[in-house]
Amino acid sequence: MITCSNHGRLTGAWGSSYVPGADADAMEQFAVKRGLVKSMGGNAGLAVLATRYFENVNVDEQGRFTAEFGILTSVSGSFNEQGKLAVDVEQMKGEALAAFLDGKGGREQAMESRKRWSGFLDEATGYSAKQRGDKAKEEAKKFAKAKSAIKMAHKSMEMMSNLPEASIEKAHELIAMLEANIEEGVAPSESQVKKLNDLF
């Protein structure tokens, strides 16, 4: 069953992660298997892949495709600078969805819409739904650890009066780096977090 938010947008049931720092119509991003973006031919190849799963595929000047199929009223996506698949998907809702499902072949089309979306994600990321879910959980843990380290660093600097000035400067430098990663939706590495924790 396809679920959606109050805005008619598909939820992250296929292993996506929220993009911190994205705009109000926050896109979802998926980890992509190493080397796949290059072998696929980047966004041009992604758009070609989209034509196999969706209808009315168009590509803008930035290489981002838009398309539709069945109850999916808007599908758009591209590979971002971090090498992840960034997508935005909206589906019919309310009376429009009810009318579609009650129409001839409506329920079959709804199931086909879900099947195509899932199949597209499989090929565009190189990961299965379970693998995408595992990747999203891994990233969520990394974000949580980074935020916790930042919080503890600030608290330590407030409580420890004998900290060397060099350590304080280094802490602020590491905090700024971690916050920049979080803002860009890039999961901080364990080594980055460890460097901050080791200062205290």
In a domain, 60, yes or no: yes
Give the whole-angstrom CA distance, residue 46 versus residue 103. Answer: 32
User: 90 and 49, same structural domain?
Assistant: yes
pLDDT band at 9 (very low <50, low <70, confident <90, very high): very low
In a domain, 83, yes or no: yes
Q: In a 3-state reduction of DSSP, which class is residue 118?
A: helix
- pLDDT tens for 39-90 read 999 999 999 999 999 999 999 988 899 999 999 999 999 999 889 999 999 9
Give the whole-angstrom CA distance, residue 183 versus residue 82. Answer: 13
Instruction: State the pLDDT at residue 163.
Output: 83
Q: How many domains does the chain have?
A: 2
pTM above 0.75, yes or no: no
C-alpha distances (whole Å) from 168 to each of 15, 161, 176, 182 are: 38, 11, 12, 21
In a domain, 7, yes or no: no
CATH number of domain containing 109: 3.30.310
C-alpha distances (whole Å) from 86 to each of 25, 30, 69, 81, 198 are: 12, 7, 18, 10, 34
Place of tokens 């720092």: 21
Q: Residue 171 is part of which domain span?
A: 138-197
Own/partner pairs for 173-176, CB < 8 Å, 24+ apart?
A: 174/199, 175/150
- pLDDT tens for 76-116 read 999 998 899 999 999 999 999 999 999 999 999 999 999 99
User: 157 and 71, same structural domain?
Assistant: no
99 residue type, one letter: A
Nearest to 13 by CA among 91, 73, 95, 74: 91
Give the whole-angstrom CA distance, residue 96 versus residue 52. Answer: 25
In a domain, 1, yes or no: no
- On whether the CB atoms of residues 181 and 191 are closer than 8 A, the answer is no
- On whether the CB atoms of residues 185 and 82 are closer than 8 A, the answer is yes
User: 186 and 89, same structural domain?
Assistant: no
